[in-house]
Amino acid sequence: MRYWYAVNTKAHCEAYAAASLEQVGLEVFLPKLKETRTVRGTWQKSTVPLFPGYLFAHFDLVNHFRAVAYAKGVRKIVAFGTGPSIVDETIINSIRAKLVGEAIELPHRHFSAGQVVKIQEGPLCGLEAVFEKRLNGASRAVLLLKAISYQARLIIDSQQVVNL
């Protein structure tokens, strides 16, 4: 019986491992994320694996275990307990539903240093802060949170922040 499994790849070898598994005749799903990054002071779009170091493969464990476990670029098949863990097909389908072309594209919000923003999700929802800087990629930002006479620096997912 064929199921989806998560496969751990060697560092930065997701595409190489996917090609190796496809050569064996297996269905492989390597979801990617399209993001905007700053490279030497300029914004550039890049496509990176959604789950760095992992991909999904659809195969029959009895017939293809060795082919997957020893494929080039593969470190191991993800397992919990006594054997490899099956990934529910609804998870694969929900990730595929979010794809635009071959990658998921997150909206990029532009903030400038010193700009007042409002946190819209999480335990700090509703609080105002001052945007300090964006961390690697477009996913995290450093904010200065002001509270009475105390100022705290926090790192938060930039999707949880909106302009004021």
Domain map of the chain by residue range? 2-105, 116-163
Q: What is the CATH number of domain 2-105?
A: 3.30.70.940
Measured CA angle at 27 (ends 76, 98), to 5 deg: 95
How far from each other are the two terminal CA atoms of the chain, in whole angstroms? 53
Give the tokens for residue 131: 């945007």
**What is the amino acid identity at position 159?**
Q
Per CATH, the number for 116-163 is: 2.30.30.30
Sort residue 73 into left (φ over 0), alpha (ψ -120 to 50) or beta.
left
pLDDT reported for residue 100: 87
| CA-wise closest residue to 49 among 97, 95, 88 | 95
Half-sphere exposure of 41 (CA within 13 A, CB side): 0
**Which residues of the chain are modeled with pLDDT < 70?**
37-38, 106-109, 135-140, 146-152, 164
What pLDDT, on the 0 to 100 scale, is given for residue 123? 72
Strands 103-105, 32-39: pairing is parallel
